[in-house]
Structure 1
Amino acid sequence: MKTEILSAEHPAAIQHALDVLHNGGLVAFPTDTVYGLAAPADDVRSIERLYTVKGRRNTKAIAILLGDSADLEKVAMPASPLVQRLAEKFWPGPLTLILPRRPTLPEILSPLPTIGVRVPDHPIALALLKAAGPLAVTSANLSGGENTLTAEQVYAQLRDRIHLILDGGTTPGSVPSTVVDCTGDAPEVLRAGPILLADVLAALE
């Protein structure tokens, strides 16, 4: 296949991305951290393609991005007060919360009974997610490769492996989101990122 690069400012960009996703294609798009690579969260075949394209082992989970925190109940079990407070404070934003997942989600998304979820703070990402619904999203790079901050960097790594790149310029962030496990009694940072543990703890005081 030949990868298409389309300006995210094109009036038909979001609709075209939806069409690609609905037809089983993979779409890269900018977020508030790095470029993401997406498939519908309920499409097992497309999610399998995500793993293949990245060269990623399917023992590593893939997160779900939402267009609105109100959609959280579609993918995760009812939120605890801790989760509600963190979501209210940091969403939209670069914080991924590890939560007990809905049993209806495809098992391929995670080898554990949990799922990473976040709402990104980027207009293009939010427009796509609000139109498409929950998407399984991983960083738009080869497994172990450099983070991609521009459409050109995505193309350099994933050229002709994916169907569409929405070019939204350079991402405002440069590192992936902070990941916080919320399945225990206290939050635990699993991956450092833009939001510090001190910020998380302060939000819970």
Structure 2
Amino acid sequence: MTHVFMSALVAGANSGQIVSFPTDTIPALAVRPDYAELIFTLKQRSNNKPLILMGAFPASLWSYVKGTDAELEIWQQVAQKYWPGALTLVLPASDKVTGAMNPTAPTTIGLRVPNSRVAIAILSQTAPLATTSANISGKPPLHTMSEIEAEFPEVLTLHPTESTELEEPHSNTQGVPSTVVKWTGDSWQILRQGAVSFNCSVSKG
């Protein structure tokens, strides 16, 4: 059994173990950023598929990116509009980001704050975690803690009663990956259309 209560899952995450918990989209595999290579190995994931840094609130994530004051203002405006929610922002990475999270493009980092009471309760007790979908690379994402436990017995999965107690009302983003947009220097590029519609008009101009 790898189902654990939240306190044990948080302790495991803080010590560098891979954990799994529900989010507002699909369940995440998560680990400390400096242990990100463990997820690539576990998932048999290609190095050209970066992980997403997930935090409990926007302020916990801004130290992982770098930009001009004008860019930071734009990014924060977008975050205020879409976070917490199913939008991942790919932004220029600061020196705080480890290359293990994005081995082939370490100059960028994907950031997200999930609209999930369960995920935020966990992330508020850890630093931001490197996350991805729970599946062997190339296979469909797993959608329940029991499926994840069966596929990845070495991963700490959140006990079902903990999820139920904090369960949020069903939303139209559950089961669908996040939308991913990348800052190009003066505008936004949609890399993956996912759970939310994004307005690309927010730019320097």
TM interval, short-chain normalised: 0.7 to 0.9
1:162 paired residue among 135, 151, 155: 155
Q: Distance in 2 between matches of 1:31 and 1:203?
A: 26
1:34 paired residue among 26, 29, 45: 26
Q: Is the 2:187–2:201 contact (alpha carbons within 8 Å) kept by the matching residues of 1? A: no
The structural deviation recorded for 1:36 is: 0.2
Question: What is the match of residue 131 of structure 1?
Answer: 125
Amino acid at match of 2:13: L
SS of residue paired to 1:200:
coil
Amino acid at match of 2:3: I
Q: Is the 2:145–2:157 contact (alpha carbons within 8 Å) kept by the matching residues of 1? A: no
Q: Distance in 2 between matches of 1:130 and 1:23?
A: 15
Over aligned residue pairs, what C-alpha RMSD do you find? 2.1
Q: Is the 2:188–2:202 contact (alpha carbons within 8 Å) kept by the matching residues of 1? A: no
Cα-to-partner distance string for 1:21-61 (whole Å, 9 max, x where unaligned): 233311000000000011112x2xx3111111111022321
Amino acid at match of 1:200: N
Count, aligned residues: 191
Question: What is the match of residue 73 of structure 1?
Answer: 62
Query: Taking structure 1 as the reference length, what is the TM-score of the superposition?
Result: 0.84
The structural deviation recorded for 1:161 is: 3.4
Amino acid at match of 2:187: A
Q: Is the 2:9–2:156 contact (alpha carbons within 8 Å) kept by the matching residues of 1? A: no
The structural deviation recorded for 1:118 is: 0.5
Cα-to-partner distance string for 1:4-29 (whole Å, 9 max, x where unaligned): 113xxxxxx33211211233311000
The structural deviation recorded for 1:203 is: 6.6
The structural deviation recorded for 1:146 is: 1.4
2:44 paired residue among 55, 74, 89: 55
Question: What is the match of residue 115 of structure 2?
Answer: 121
Question: What is the match of residue 10 of structure 1?
Answer: none
Q: Distance in 2 between matches of 1:144 and 1:156?
A: 17
SS of residue paired to 2:9:
helix
SS of residue paired to 1:132:
coil
Question: What is the match of residue 84 of structure 1?
Answer: 76
Q: Distance in 2 between matches of 1:166 and 1:25?
A: 16
Amino acid at match of 2:79: A
Question: What is the match of residue 140 of structure 2?
Answer: 146
Q: 1:153 and 1:164, CA in 2 relative to 1: closer, same or farther beyond 3 A?
A: closer
Identity of aligned residues (%): 32
Q: Distance in 1 between matches of 2:2 and 2:149?
A: 9
1:19 paired residue among 11, 17, 38: 11
Cα-to-partner distance string for 1:158-187 (whole Å, 9 max, x where unaligned): 2x2323344326985111100000133211
Q: Distance in 2 between matches of 1:166 and 1:97?
A: 30
Question: What is the match of residue 193 of structure 1?
Answer: 194
Q: Is the 1:27–1:166 contact (alpha carbons within 8 Å) kept by the matching residues of 2? A: no
Q: Any unmatched runs of 5+ in structure 1?
A: 7-12
Query: Taking structure 2 as the reference length, what is the TM-score of the superposition?
Result: 0.84
Cα-to-partner distance string for 1:81-131 (whole Å, 9 max, x where unaligned): 331221010000000000011112211111220000010000010011111
Instruction: Answer with 178-187 or 146-155: which moved more.
Output: 146-155
The structural deviation recorded for 1:157 is: 2.6
Q: Distance in 2 between matches of 1:157 and 1:145?
A: 11
SS of residue paired to 2:199:
helix
